[in-house]
């Protein structure tokens, strides 16, 4: 969208970007707002709209027009907004759905597609309309669901951005007039010094990179810009918790960084998103907190090589379990379902604290979405709850996965085959007999978490409270034993 592109331009050029609220005219119910973009102290043509947000979008689009073409005097002002060419608002032909997802994440508004099928004399016609925030937009039709969705997204774009110039967009694409083409330099290589590849594979790549200005190290993940990757970035931007990998910012570039990606085939818990084979597709860059390359899976494997089931493992395990469930409780509080909790996706911060990562399969858990069909078999099979092979499920799938993870944290297994057997039996609530008397309190919690019926499983907040009691009781026992 235009606002995001202008912000990106300002960051790339080290320019100071501000917006001036010029004012509004008209009665309360028919007001027209005017906003002006100012770059490095230079005012650009005014943008007007029915809301301040719409006026800001038009002001950004006009500033982009001046900056990309260089044909308008920056001090020139116009009384009314002109339509923004599609290429200036981040739209290419047949890409309005991607724009709408980006708009949703940028403006922090929820979007919902309402799809129906109409029967006519020539057969079935697919229909779609979008609800953005509290506003419902016009419906569109198409031969396929995808076509209808794209046309519906186009109608949203036209109303929000005032753009109804597909012909102009095609013309601009043919002439090559775009802001991206006037600034070929990659923001990633301009702002960062790539240091090493932390993970690569089908999901894309994750790099350890030093920010030149801040002189701090971050993890920068590079994936093909698709609906799932945009959803992950949008979710991460909504989360701020000490036990969740921290999100800083994201941006798009025309291509992915072609550095050394042969360091490892593991994603180190940052992502498992697929990457596209289309070399012309845009790539999404996500700047994240840098974590230790060691995951919970490796911590468990290290503990399993030790000769005895020692009390230190229990103490460390209780602390780790508490931190994981604290992060999950926050995720659920923010109305999200992780859907892919497993030891591989749980990292450790540079200070040793637990960090939940990989939100590539995250989905919303709004109360009014309880009966909406979700993608079935979405997750890692050995940690999926029984109901995940159907389309109707909620956040309790994360609780089931946590029950299995907790068992792995506390219980030592000697071989991969033994682990498979223990997890398979645990899915049927058959915990190892020795585990039941070694960890009686933990066993009670886990049995509830592994109930087949999701409504019988506890909420994350309840698990957190029980673990805290167990942790305090364990510490009290340890203190008494040393007296």
Ordered by start, the domain boundaries in the chain are 1-89, 92-162, 191-288, 296-482
Cα–Cα distances (Å) from 449 to 419, 429, 458, in that order, read 19, 9, 6
- Of 96, 126, 92, 90, nearest in space to 111 by CA: 96
What sections of 296-395 are H helices per DSSP?
296-304, 311-333
Query: So what CATH class is 191-288?
Result: alpha beta
Sign of the alpha-carbon torsion through 136, 102, 177, 174: negative
**CATH entry 3.30.70.520 includes domain 1-89:** no
The residues, ordered by sequence, that sit 6+ positions from 441 with a Cβ below 8 Å of its Cβ are 466, 469, 470, 473
Q: 92-162: same fold as 1-89?
A: yes
Please state the pTM of the whole predicted model. Answer: 0.60
The fold for domain 296-482 equals Transferase(Phosphotransferase); domain 1 (1.10.510)
- Overall residue count recorded for the chain in this entry: 483
At residue 299, the 3 state secondary structure works out as helix
The residues, ordered by sequence, that sit 6+ positions from 357 with a Cβ below 8 Å of its Cβ are 244, 245, 269, 270, 271, 291, 345, 346, 347
Kindly give the confidence (pLDDT) of every residue in the chain, 483 residues in length, as a single tens digit, with 9 standing for 90 and above: 677 778 777 767 777 788 888 887 766 556 788 889 888 878 888 888 888 888 888 888 888 888 876 543 433 433 333 344 433 344 443 467 877 877 776 677 788 888 887 765 556 678 888 888 878 888 888 888 888 888 888 888 877 775 433 343 344 444 444 433 334 468 999 999 999 998 876 667 899 999 999 999 999 999 888 877 888 899 999 999 999 999 999 999 887 786 654 444 445 566 544 444 444 568 999 999 999 989 999 999 999 988 665 678 888 999 999 999 999 999 999 999 999 999 999 999 999 999 999 998 888 887 544 444 455 557 788 999 999 887 788 999 999 999 999 999 999 998 999 999 999 999 999 999 999 988 999 999 999 999 999 999 999 999 999 999 988 877 776 666 665
User: What is the dihedral angle through the alpha carbons of 118, 119, 121, 124, rounded to the nearest 10 degrees?
Assistant: 80
At residue 148, the 3 state secondary structure works out as helix
CATH number of 92-162: 3.30.160.20
275, with CB counted inside 10 A (0-12, 13-18, 19+), is: buried
Phi first, then psi: give them for residue 157, nearest 5 degrees. -60, -45
């Amino acid at each position: 969208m235009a606002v995001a592109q202008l912000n990106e331009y300002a960051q790339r050029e080290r320019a100071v970007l501000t917006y001036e609220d010029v004012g509004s005219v008209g009665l309360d119910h028919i007001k027209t707002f005017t906003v002006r973009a100012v770059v490095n102290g230079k005012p650009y043509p005014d943008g007007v709209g029915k809301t301040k947000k719409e006026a800001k979008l038009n002001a950004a689009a006009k500033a982009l027009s001046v900056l990309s073409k260089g044909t308008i005097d920056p001090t020139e002002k116009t009384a009314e907004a002109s339509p923004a060419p599609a290429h200036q608002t981040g739209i290419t032909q047949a890409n309005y759905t991607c724009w709408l997802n980006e708009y949703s994440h940028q403006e922090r508004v929820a979007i919902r597609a309402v799809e129906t099928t109409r029967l006519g004399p020539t057969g079935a016609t697919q229909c779609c309309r979008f609800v953005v925030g509290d506003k419902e937009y016009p419906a569109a039709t198409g031969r396929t669901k995808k076509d209808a969705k794209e046309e519906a997204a186009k109608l949203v774009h036209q109303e929000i951005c005032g753009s109804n110039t597909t012909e102009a967009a095609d013309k601009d694409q043919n002439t090559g007039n775009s802001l991206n083409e006037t600034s070929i330099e990659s923001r990633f290589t301009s702002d960062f010094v790539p240091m090493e590849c932390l993970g690569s594979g089908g999901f894309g790549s994750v790099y350890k990179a030093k920010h030149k200005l801040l002189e701090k190290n971050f993890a920068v993940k590079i994936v093909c810009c698709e609906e799932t990757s945009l959803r992950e970035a949008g979710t991460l931007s909504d989360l701020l918790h000490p036990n969740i990998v921290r999100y800083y910012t994201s941006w798009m570039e025309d291509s992915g960084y072609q550095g050394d990606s042969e360091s490892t085939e593991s994603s180190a818990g940052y992502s498992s998103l697929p990457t596209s084979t289309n070399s012309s597709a845009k790539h999404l860059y996500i700047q994240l907190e840098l974590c230790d390359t060691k995951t919970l899976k490796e911590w468990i494997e290290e503990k399993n090589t030790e000769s005895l089931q020692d009390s230190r493992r229990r103490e460390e395990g209780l602390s780790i379990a508490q931190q994981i469930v604290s992060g999950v409780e926050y995720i659920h509080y923010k109305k999200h379902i992780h859907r892919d909790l497993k030891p591989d996706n749980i990292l450790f911060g540079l200070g040793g604290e637990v960090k939940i990562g990989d939100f590539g399969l995250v989905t919303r858990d709004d109360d009014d979405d309880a009966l909406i069909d979700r993608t079935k078999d979405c997750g890692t099979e050995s940690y999926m709850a029984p109901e995940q092979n159907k389309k109707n499920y909620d956040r309790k799938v994360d609780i089931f996965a946590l029950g299995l993870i907790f068992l792995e944290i506390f219980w030592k297994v000697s071989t991969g085959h033994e682990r498979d057997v223990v997890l398979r039996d645990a899915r049927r609530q058959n915990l190892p007999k020795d585990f039941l008397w070694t960890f009686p309190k933990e066993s009670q919690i886990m049995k509830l978490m592994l109930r087949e019926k999701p409504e019988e499983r506890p909420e994350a907040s309840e698990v957190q409270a029980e673990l805290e009691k167990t942790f305090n009781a364990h510490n009290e026992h340890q203190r008494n034993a040393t007296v």
